[in-house]
Amino acid sequence: MHEADKDQTLTDVKTLEEIKAQSVAGDQLRSLLLTVFAVIAMLLSAIGIYGVISYSVVQRTHEIGIRAALGATSGDVLRLILRSGMLMSGLGLVLGFGGALALTRLMEALLFGVGSRDPLTIAAVGGVLAGVAVLACYIPARRASRVDPVVALRYE
Protein backbone atom coordinates (compact mmCIF):
# COMPACT_ATOMS: atom_id res chain seq x y z
CA MET A 1 0.00 0.00 0.00
CA HIS A 2 2.91 2.30 0.82
CA GLU A 3 4.41 1.76 -2.65
CA ALA A 4 1.12 2.59 -4.37
CA ASP A 5 0.29 5.76 -2.41
CA LYS A 6 2.49 7.11 0.39
CA ASP A 7 -0.17 9.55 1.58
CA GLN A 8 -2.90 6.95 1.96
CA THR A 9 -3.67 6.20 5.60
CA LEU A 10 -4.49 2.70 6.73
CA THR A 11 -7.32 2.18 9.17
CA ASP A 12 -8.97 -0.92 10.55
CA VAL A 13 -6.08 -3.27 9.81
CA LYS A 14 -6.94 -6.89 10.67
CA THR A 15 -5.30 -10.25 10.28
CA LEU A 16 -6.90 -12.94 8.18
CA GLU A 17 -7.74 -14.88 11.37
CA GLU A 18 -9.63 -11.87 12.78
CA ILE A 19 -11.59 -11.47 9.55
CA LYS A 20 -12.50 -15.18 9.54
CA ALA A 21 -13.53 -15.06 13.21
CA GLN A 22 -15.83 -12.08 12.57
CA SER A 23 -17.41 -13.73 9.55
CA VAL A 24 -18.43 -16.88 11.46
CA ALA A 25 -19.30 -15.22 14.78
CA GLY A 26 -23.03 -15.13 14.01
CA ASP A 27 -23.08 -18.79 13.01
CA GLN A 28 -21.14 -19.77 16.14
CA LEU A 29 -23.58 -17.90 18.36
CA ARG A 30 -26.53 -19.53 16.62
CA SER A 31 -24.95 -22.98 17.02
CA LEU A 32 -24.23 -22.33 20.70
CA LEU A 33 -27.81 -21.21 21.32
CA LEU A 34 -29.20 -24.26 19.50
CA THR A 35 -26.96 -26.52 21.57
CA VAL A 36 -28.02 -24.90 24.84
CA PHE A 37 -31.70 -25.14 23.92
CA ALA A 38 -31.28 -28.76 22.80
CA VAL A 39 -29.69 -29.68 26.15
CA ILE A 40 -32.48 -27.90 28.02
CA ALA A 41 -35.08 -29.72 25.89
CA MET A 42 -33.37 -33.05 26.62
CA LEU A 43 -33.39 -32.34 30.37
CA LEU A 44 -37.03 -31.27 30.26
CA SER A 45 -38.02 -34.40 28.36
CA ALA A 46 -36.14 -36.62 30.83
CA ILE A 47 -37.79 -34.86 33.77
CA GLY A 48 -41.19 -35.16 32.09
CA ILE A 49 -40.80 -38.86 31.35
CA TYR A 50 -39.54 -39.47 34.89
CA GLY A 51 -42.50 -37.56 36.33
CA VAL A 52 -45.10 -39.40 34.27
CA ILE A 53 -43.64 -42.82 35.03
CA SER A 54 -43.23 -41.99 38.74
CA TYR A 55 -46.84 -40.85 38.91
CA SER A 56 -47.94 -44.01 37.12
CA VAL A 57 -45.97 -46.14 39.59
CA VAL A 58 -47.53 -44.34 42.56
CA GLN A 59 -50.99 -44.84 41.08
CA ARG A 60 -50.27 -48.53 40.54
CA THR A 61 -48.70 -49.19 43.96
CA HIS A 62 -51.66 -51.31 45.06
CA GLU A 63 -51.54 -53.35 41.84
CA ILE A 64 -47.78 -53.82 42.16
CA GLY A 65 -48.26 -54.99 45.75
CA ILE A 66 -50.85 -57.54 44.66
CA ARG A 67 -48.57 -58.79 41.89
CA ALA A 68 -45.68 -59.11 44.36
CA ALA A 69 -47.93 -60.91 46.88
CA LEU A 70 -48.99 -63.36 44.18
CA GLY A 71 -45.38 -64.21 43.38
CA ALA A 72 -44.15 -61.66 40.87
CA THR A 73 -40.41 -61.21 41.20
CA SER A 74 -38.75 -57.81 41.30
CA GLY A 75 -37.52 -58.48 37.76
CA ASP A 76 -41.11 -59.03 36.60
CA VAL A 77 -42.19 -55.72 38.14
CA LEU A 78 -39.15 -53.97 36.67
CA ARG A 79 -39.95 -55.29 33.19
CA LEU A 80 -43.63 -54.35 33.55
CA ILE A 81 -42.87 -50.73 34.40
CA LEU A 82 -40.06 -50.44 31.84
CA ARG A 83 -42.26 -51.93 29.11
CA SER A 84 -45.11 -49.50 29.73
CA GLY A 85 -42.73 -46.52 29.96
CA MET A 86 -40.82 -47.45 26.84
CA LEU A 87 -44.06 -48.03 24.95
CA MET A 88 -45.04 -44.42 25.65
CA SER A 89 -41.52 -43.21 24.87
CA GLY A 90 -41.42 -45.20 21.64
CA LEU A 91 -44.69 -43.66 20.54
CA GLY A 92 -43.24 -40.22 21.34
CA LEU A 93 -40.10 -41.03 19.34
CA VAL A 94 -42.14 -42.10 16.31
CA LEU A 95 -44.29 -38.97 16.46
CA GLY A 96 -41.20 -36.81 17.02
CA PHE A 97 -39.45 -38.44 14.07
CA GLY A 98 -42.43 -37.59 11.86
CA GLY A 99 -42.46 -34.01 13.13
CA ALA A 100 -38.71 -33.69 12.63
CA LEU A 101 -38.98 -34.83 9.02
CA ALA A 102 -41.82 -32.38 8.43
CA LEU A 103 -39.93 -29.42 9.92
CA THR A 104 -36.47 -30.01 8.43
CA ARG A 105 -37.08 -27.42 5.73
CA LEU A 106 -37.09 -24.71 8.40
CA MET A 107 -33.72 -25.83 9.77
CA GLU A 108 -31.91 -26.34 6.43
CA ALA A 109 -30.40 -22.85 6.44
CA LEU A 110 -28.75 -23.54 9.82
CA LEU A 111 -27.08 -26.80 8.81
CA PHE A 112 -23.56 -26.87 7.43
CA GLY A 113 -22.02 -30.03 6.04
CA VAL A 114 -25.03 -32.15 7.02
CA GLY A 115 -28.14 -32.82 5.00
CA SER A 116 -31.49 -32.00 6.55
CA ARG A 117 -32.48 -35.66 6.42
CA ASP A 118 -29.14 -37.23 7.27
CA PRO A 119 -29.93 -40.80 8.43
CA LEU A 120 -26.87 -41.07 10.69
CA THR A 121 -27.76 -37.88 12.56
CA ILE A 122 -31.42 -38.85 12.90
CA ALA A 123 -30.46 -42.32 14.17
CA ALA A 124 -27.94 -40.87 16.65
CA VAL A 125 -30.45 -38.38 18.04
CA GLY A 126 -33.10 -41.10 18.25
CA GLY A 127 -30.64 -43.34 20.10
CA VAL A 128 -29.74 -40.61 22.58
CA LEU A 129 -33.42 -39.85 23.20
CA ALA A 130 -34.19 -43.55 23.66
CA GLY A 131 -31.30 -43.84 26.12
CA VAL A 132 -32.59 -40.88 28.12
CA ALA A 133 -36.07 -42.44 28.10
CA VAL A 134 -34.72 -45.78 29.37
CA LEU A 135 -32.87 -44.04 32.18
CA ALA A 136 -35.90 -41.92 33.06
CA CYS A 137 -38.08 -45.07 33.15
CA TYR A 138 -35.55 -47.23 34.98
CA ILE A 139 -35.38 -45.13 38.15
CA PRO A 140 -39.13 -45.37 39.00
CA ALA A 141 -39.20 -48.99 37.80
CA ARG A 142 -36.35 -49.87 40.14
CA ARG A 143 -38.17 -48.19 43.01
CA ALA A 144 -41.38 -50.08 42.13
CA SER A 145 -39.54 -53.39 42.07
CA ARG A 146 -38.55 -52.86 45.71
CA VAL A 147 -42.12 -52.29 46.93
CA ASP A 148 -42.95 -54.40 49.98
CA PRO A 149 -46.27 -56.21 49.28
CA VAL A 150 -47.53 -55.70 52.84
CA VAL A 151 -46.90 -51.94 52.70
CA ALA A 152 -48.39 -51.67 49.22
CA LEU A 153 -51.55 -53.56 50.19
CA ARG A 154 -51.93 -51.44 53.34
CA TYR A 155 -51.44 -48.31 51.18
CA GLU A 156 -55.13 -47.69 50.40
pLDDT in tens, 53-79: 888 888 888 888 888 888 888 899 899
Question: Can you tell me the distance from the alpha carbon of 65 to that of 150, in angstroms, rounded to the nearest whole number?
Answer: 7
Q: Which residues contact 156 (CB under 8 A, 6 or more apart)?
A: 62
How many distinct structural domains can be found in the chain? 1
| Inside any domain, residue 25 | no
Q: For residues 21 and 4, give the distance between their C-alpha atoms in angstroms, rounded to a whole number.
A: 29
User: 96 lies in which domain range?
Assistant: 53-109+117-156
Q: Is residue 4 part of a domain?
A: no
Can you give the pLDDT at residue 25?
78
Q: What is the pLDDT of residues 9-24, one digit of tens each?
A: 777 778 888 878 778 7
